[in-house]
Structure formats: structure tokens, C-alpha cells
Amino acid sequence: MDYSKICKVYEALENTSKGLEKTDILAKFLGEIKDNPNFIYLLQGRLFADYDNRELGISTQLVIKAIGKAAGISDEEIINKFRELGDLGKVAETVLGKSKKQTALFTKKLSVEKVLENLQKLPTLEGGGTVDKKVGFIVDLLHSSTDNESKYIVRTILNDLKIGVGSGILRDAIVMHCFSPKNLSDKKVCAIAVQEAYNKATDFAKVLEMACNDTLEKIKLEPGKPVKVMLFPKAKNVEDAFKIIGKPAAFEYKYDGFRVMINKSEDGVVKIFTRRLEEVTKQFPEIVEYVNDNVTAKSFILDSEAVGFDAKTKKYTDFQAISQRIRRKHGIFEMQKKLPIELVIFDIIYHNGDNLIDSTFIKRRKLIEQIVREEDYKIVLAKQIITDNTEEVEKFYAQALDDNQEGLMGKDLDAPYKPGSRVGYAVKLKPEDKDFDLVITGAEWGTGKRAGWLTSFNVACSNDGELLEIGKVSTGLKELKDEGLSFEEMTNMLGKLLIETKGTKIKVKPQIVITVKYQDIQKSPTYSSGYALRFPRITRLREDRGVNDIATLEEVETESN
């Protein structure tokens, strides 16, 4: 397929802000790629399935270098143009469109296959000369592209197509193309089926292929491949929790650690994934040891929390104390001794070949009680009570807080497990502090004594995969590194994610998730969510969480009432 065809789809999507129009545009195009379902990744500016966390390893600076090389002009000229246009895609379109050299170099139309082939090679390159090789593959594409195509190639590399296609719109496009529902009721049923299939596969190419063949039910959980975790809305208090999940209910400690899904496949290989679908098996060799020694099952997928504790006092520590282990690639043994963790098991969704997501929670809990041999400070089950008594829950709640945990989880005893869903099968109970996990989408350079640092951050919530800004936050970070998360550290992290710059303001890839505490919420036409947080403050960096884990617009609306 000519790459120009998909670029025409990009243009049509970019020219409308209406979700239904985007869905219609995509639904029509899906018929052209059903024999090449992996092309669907490009419709979200991706190159691999969502479960595949390979990264291109391409910084903004490398893209600038590649554009300059392809156009035959200096990096400085590209940077100046970037400052003027604020979009490297438009920069590529402009300078390559004017370049006489480029016109003479491409002799045949660029194909989608060629774009995927070149860009999918980037994560595989290692060793000496890697940077030049990566730049070479990008330059090859830019030389072969028209000016319009070069814009979208650059935007794809930066994972910022600017076409407004979230997972919800892509899901609905698959529904419309594959099932042609006749009414809203049919559309809702089909959308649920497609969403559930995606939550198991985390791969839209596979979902498109199976949906077109009407075989979605064949998509199964597979140990060894990451799956989205079930998410939990907040309850205002114990009474509210009972209203949502019913009586009696299970209440468990809400541990202040990071969520991990432990997979063991039939061949005995153990893999550990975060809720962001990233594999962290190498970072936590003790978890592999704990499950091999203490879980009596040939294959499984366990939902759990890795909780830090002080090696001397045995007291539980907070998330921030052990968060650095997630990214650590070297010195693993030293970190293991310095920052030990206890693995807390609280659910199971696959066991010895059986998919358990439709089983009731009480049955799943009984199963983990049977197959997990508890060993303090290594592997344990979540502390739990089952009750219909409010006072008993309140007492348990206080105990959890005394044990340095975040609060409680309340769980419907008869509920199934819904990967990727934030449904009322379980709720979280936390103290009255109001906070949301939000993603940073942009920032602004500081002035005065904070000059040289990014000091004001745009934050967003999610609405069916679309990011909606809910305000700016500029307090909570430290000026000195040793005092906690600092402006300098945040500036360094966001600098690697830069995709657009306009004056003192920048736009970044939405990857950095932070917890933001606020006083209250007010309606605001200024931000795309329609709301703004009053007196927001950054309280922690959530390295364990991704865009799929942030607060939803529905949660914001609920909290604003």
C-alpha cells in the first residue's frame, strides 16, 4: 500500500474534532488494511502492539539531525525553524518541500511496508555506530517521501500524530467496520465485546483480524504476554463502598507499593509486568525466586503488589522509597539488599490453562489461598476481612493506616475480573486528601532563580483514551535534588520527551504520570476537560503508572459534585 493513502487518512482525521466523524473515517479505511492488520498500529502513531514496549530510542535531537541531513542543511537551521513552527513534522514538511535535492532522490512511491520496516528496525540496533545507523534509516524514509509524507513520518517517530485517535475511537471504528450495528443497543454490545477482546490481547491488529472473522471469543489470556490490570474507582467512605459493591464484601489492605502481574507460562518461565505493560523481570529476581518456591501451579497470572520494607525495622515503606527499582538496569543485587520488597498477592486470573476472569472474586481468592505458601517478607496474601459491618471495616481501615498502607480496597465477592476496566467491582478507600494521578502534556520554562528549569506543568485526565487538560501545576517540586523530586530532575525527564516548542512553552509525549493533590474542582472553559483544579500540588512521581492508569473525566466529574 502506498504510504500516501494512510497520510490522506491522517489529514482527514486532523481536519475534524468530531469523534463520530473520526470513527467513520477509520471504519472506511479499515477495509483497505484488513489483509495487513498490523497497519492499524500506524493509526495511533505506533509501530508495535500495545503490549510490546520496544522503544525507538530516538530523541528530538536525533530527529533534528535526520531532517537536517535529509534536507542538506544544518541542525541550527532546523532548530530555528522548530522554534518558529513548534512542530518538527511541519519543519520536515517545509524544509524538505523546498529542498531540490530531495526531489531528485525519490523515484518511486513510498510504501507503508517500507515505513514499518525501517522504523521497526530502530529498537534492534545496538553497538558502535548505532546513532548513525538510526539516523540513516530515518533519512532513507525522508528521502523517499513527499513533503506531506515526511511530516507524518516525523510525527510517528515522535509518537505525536496530532490526529486525535484514542483507543476508544479505534475500537468503535472496528465495531462499525466489522459488525455494522443497526442501532445503539447493538453498537454497545459489539463495543463491549471488542473492548474485552482488546483488554485480553492488548493488540488492535489481532482484534481487527478476529473481529472481521467474527472469532473474538477465540482471543484468550496467554501467560507471558502482559495484560491490562483491572482499575478501581474511589469510594467516599465505607457506606459508599457498600452501596457500590454490596454486602457482605471483602476488604483488603490497599498497599503503598507498585502493581505487578506475575506470569508463569507452561514452560516454567516467569515474567513480571507493571501496570504499564513493561517487563521488569530482571529488576526483581527475588520475585521470581519467591513464586517458584511458594506457588504450587504450573502456569498462572497473579495480580499483586510489590511493597517495600525497611530491612532492619521490618516496617513498611512508601512507594517512593522503592520506586527507583523499577528503572534500575544495573546493580540489581545491591538494590535488592538496600530496598527489599514483599510480594503481596491479591488476585489470580489464569491458572493451569484455565482463564479465570469470569470466575467470582471469592473463588479466585480461595484458589490463591490454596496455591500460595505464605512466607513473611517474601510472599504473602493481601490482609483481608469479609463483613457487612461498617464499624468492623472502620477498625480494619485504621489498622491499615497504622501499618503505613494507603487505605483499603473493598471488593464485590461475586464479581468477575475486568482487565483494563474501571468498574464498580472493587473500590478504593483512602483518607480525605483529594488527589488524582494525571499525565504531564506540556510545560513552561521558569524565570528568575528557576531559570533553566521547567517549572509549570500542564496536566491531563483521560476520556475514553483522549487526553483532556485539567490545569497547570507549579508547586510541590524541590529546588535541590537531595530534598526530593526536583525541578531539575523533572526538566531532564521531560526534555527527552519534547515534541513541540513555542516560545517558553513546550509540548511533550504524555508519559510522565504524577499524583496531584488539590483543594477542590471548579468548572472552567479554559481547559479541554471543562474543569480546573484549585491549588494543585505535585506530591509524587508515579513511575509505575502510564496513561491508561490516570484519572478519568468521569472521576473528575464525580469528585466535583
Domain assignments of the chain as residue spans, ordered by start: 46-157, 238-429, 435-560
Using CA atoms, how far residue 194 sits from 38, 103, 212, in Å, is 17, 44, 11
Cell of 75: 541542525
- CA atoms of 45 and 97, how far apart (whole Å): 22
- CA atoms of 528 and 169, how far apart (whole Å): 18
CATH of range 435-560; options 2.40.50.140, 3.40.50.970, 3.30.70.20, 3.30.300.30: 2.40.50.140
Q: Read out DSSP for 52-82?
A: --------HHHHHHHHHHHHT--HHHHHHHH
Please tell me whether the peptide bond between 248 and the residue prior to it is cis, using omega within 30 degrees of 0. yes
Q: Taking the CA atoms of 22, 23, 24 and 27 in sequence, report the sign of the dihedral they define.
A: positive
Per-residue pLDDT, 107:
56
Q: What value does the mean pLDDT of the chain take? A: 91
Q: Read out DSSP for 493-544?
A: HHHTTEEEEETTEEEE-TT-EEEEE-SEEEE-TTSTTSEEEES-EEEEE-TT
For the stretch 442-465, pLDDT in tens is 999 988 788 889 999 999 999 877
Residue (of 85, 165, 112, 49) closest to 466 by Cα position? 165
Percent of the chain with pLDDT over 90: 67
220 included as an active-site residue: no
Residue 529 has pLDDT above 80, yes or no: yes
Helix (H, G, I), strand (E, B) or coil at 349: strand
For the stretch 397-455, pLDDT in tens is 999 998 888 899 999 999 999 888 777 899 999 886 689 999 999 999 988 788 889 99
Cβ distance 398 to 455 under 8 Å?
no
For the stretch 29-70, pLDDT in tens is 999 998 999 999 999 999 999 888 888 888 888 999 999 999
Q: Name the pLDDT band for 164 (thresholds 50, 70, 90).
A: confident
- Domain 238-429 sits in CATH 3.30.470.30: yes
- CA atoms of 518 and 475, how far apart (whole Å): 11
Per-residue pLDDT, 203:
94
Angle at which helix 184-201 crosses helix 204-212, to 10 degrees, equals: 130
- CA atoms of 55 and 330, how far apart (whole Å): 19
Q: Name the pLDDT band for 343 (thresholds 50, 70, 90).
A: very high
Per-residue pLDDT, 100:
44
CA angle 478, 482, 485 (to 5 degrees): 40
Per-residue pLDDT, 464:
78
Cβ distance 150 to 98 under 8 Å?
no
pLDDT, mean of residues 366-387: 97
For the stretch 287-330, pLDDT in tens is 999 999 999 999 999 999 999 998 889 888 888 778 778 777 78
Q: How many CB atoms lie under 10 A from the CB of residue 328?
A: 16
Per-residue pLDDT, 104:
47
Cβ distance 9 to 165 under 8 Å?
no
Cβ distance 476 to 484 under 8 Å?
no
Instruction: State the CATH class of domain 46-157.
Output: mainly alpha
Q: Which amino acid would we find at residue 388?
A: D
Do 435-560 and 238-429 have the same topology in CATH? no
pLDDT, mean of residues 126-136: 90
Per-residue pLDDT, 281:
94
Helix (H, G, I), strand (E, B) or coil at 308: strand
Q: Out of 254, 264, 271, 418, pick the active-site residue.
A: 254
The helix (H) or strand (E) run that includes residue 306 is strand 300-308
Report the DSSP pairing between strands 341-351 and 379-381. Answer: parallel
C-alpha of 168 from chain center: 14
Residue (of 298, 235, 240, 297) closest to 266 by Cα position? 298
Residue 98 has pLDDT above 80, yes or no: no
Per-residue pLDDT, 482:
62
- CA atoms of 121 and 36, how far apart (whole Å): 19
Phi, psi angle pair for 84, to nearest 5°:
-75, -45
Using CA atoms, how far residue 120 sits from 123, 148, 352, 519, in Å, is 7, 21, 34, 45
Residue 275 has pLDDT above 50, yes or no: yes
Per-residue pLDDT, 282:
93
Phi, psi angle pair for 59, to nearest 5°:
-85, 165
Residue 16 has pLDDT above 60, yes or no: yes
Per-residue pLDDT, 2:
95
Residue 171 has pLDDT above 90, yes or no: yes
Residue (of 99, 208, 96) closest to 153 by Cα position? 96
- CA atoms of 458 and 475, how far apart (whole Å): 12
Residue (of 427, 129, 467, 374) closest to 249 by Cα position? 427
Helix (H, G, I), strand (E, B) or coil at 465: coil
Cell of 502: 513555542
Cβ distance 301 to 221 under 8 Å?
yes
Per-residue pLDDT, 106:
47
